Structure 1
């Protein structure tokens, strides 16, 4: 009885704290505000995630995509409560490429460019680009035949973006990109046209349940 009375006495304070937290969460409307919120709430577990409709096919992702900006989902377990809030929603231009990276930092600019010329000649003679990428590329996508997957502007260098996203290239037409800033020289083909894909930014935050 004594423990029950103590619990009843503290219930209003617990509810008030939950109410204040919910109000604070509801007031977040931008990724910048979400970042500030996470900094203030350390060491609690929280993070900002970006979901791409073409990449993320989970049940949770589908539910979040069905919400409007500001929408919130709460998942409860025995020990914690996890909040997901959509803080931004937009259509973003993506495309897919295959790339062969020639790293001048490991040889020289002249060697990288000459090797690229040789590989381009092989491609024009009929060799498959993905096979050439596996054999010649110095980049992390070599094992995948140079496949970048869906990428957007800003994920590669400005030099890459300027040529790949802002110049017209026929499908499977090889073109070059010189990124002298990072000593990278690319041979590239575009495998998917620039496509507008829905993207959401989600704040995930977990708190323990006492």
Structure 2
């Protein structure tokens, strides 16, 4: 007759727990489950169906994310996967889509009409233009005078899509050539911009992935607990 002890019951529970965790985080099996993920909607559904997994939908910009990982991702085909190994975690990426998207780039100096009178803004703009004519860089002037948080980046917006900025701003970039400096004013809302179009618009590929991370430390703790019994 088999004697069932409290310790043996605990061991059986731990075996079941460890087996369950490893089956949930088995990358090979997960690849099969990921076959149904073909777009953003099915990726969102996958996340809802697997709350036990650490998942995220992430977008890579080929121009901005210029590192070894993004280069590997951009070299893959839509629907394929990529596995990476680190000391503390393993990550599986499922490529959802890769889309060429038109991007713009500009810098600006923002002057707040709610804090400065229009006459003060006009005077300040003359000072800014005079300094630029003498060779002062736009980035330095933006860092000094812009009344927006973009002052911290020298006024640079980085590469952005049409949806990221208000229509009048984007339209002004379409109408001007690169390295052109011009004013864009909104007296009704007391917003005043001096803009420098720094680059011509161009298509940049955007890549969306379903990212699944497996923390190795959690597995290790379960193994250690099981081994101690």
Structure 1: which 5+ runs fail to align? Answer: none
Q: 1:206 aligns with which of 201, 210, 213?
A: 213
SS of match in other structure, 2:149: coil
Query: Normalising by structure 2, what TM-score?
Result: 0.70
Query: Normalising by structure 1, what TM-score?
Result: 0.75
Corresponding residue for residue 162 of structure 2: 153
Corresponding residue for residue 200 of structure 2: 193
Structure showing the higher strand proportion among its residues: 1
Corresponding residue for residue 55 of structure 1: 64
Distance of 2:66 and 2:178 partners within structure 1 = 27
Distance of 1:116 and 1:184 partners within structure 2 = 14
Distance of 1:30 and 1:161 partners within structure 2 = 29
Answer whether contact 2:104 2:162 (CA < 8 A) is retained: no
Give the ranges of 4+ consecutive aligned residues of structure 1 lying more than 6 Å apart after TM superposition: none
Distance of 2:119 and 2:154 partners within structure 1 = 22
- Number of residue pairs the alignment of both structures matches: 204
Residues 144 and 115 of structure 1: is their aligned pair in 2 closer, same or farther, counting only changes over 3 Å? Answer: farther
Residue 34 of structure 1: how far off its partner (Å): 1.9
Residue 63 of structure 1: how far off its partner (Å): 0.7
Distance of 2:67 and 2:96 partners within structure 1 = 19
Please say which of residues 178-187 and 31-40 is displaced more in the overlay: 178-187
Structure 2: which 5+ runs fail to align? Answer: 1-7, 220-229
Corresponding residue for residue 45 of structure 1: 54
Distance of 1:34 and 1:42 partners within structure 2 = 13
Pair member with larger Rg: 2
Please say which of residues 49-58 and 68-77 is displaced more in the overlay: 68-77
Corresponding residue for residue 104 of structure 1: 113
Answer whether contact 1:119 1:132 (CA < 8 A) is retained: no
SS of match in other structure, 2:58: strand
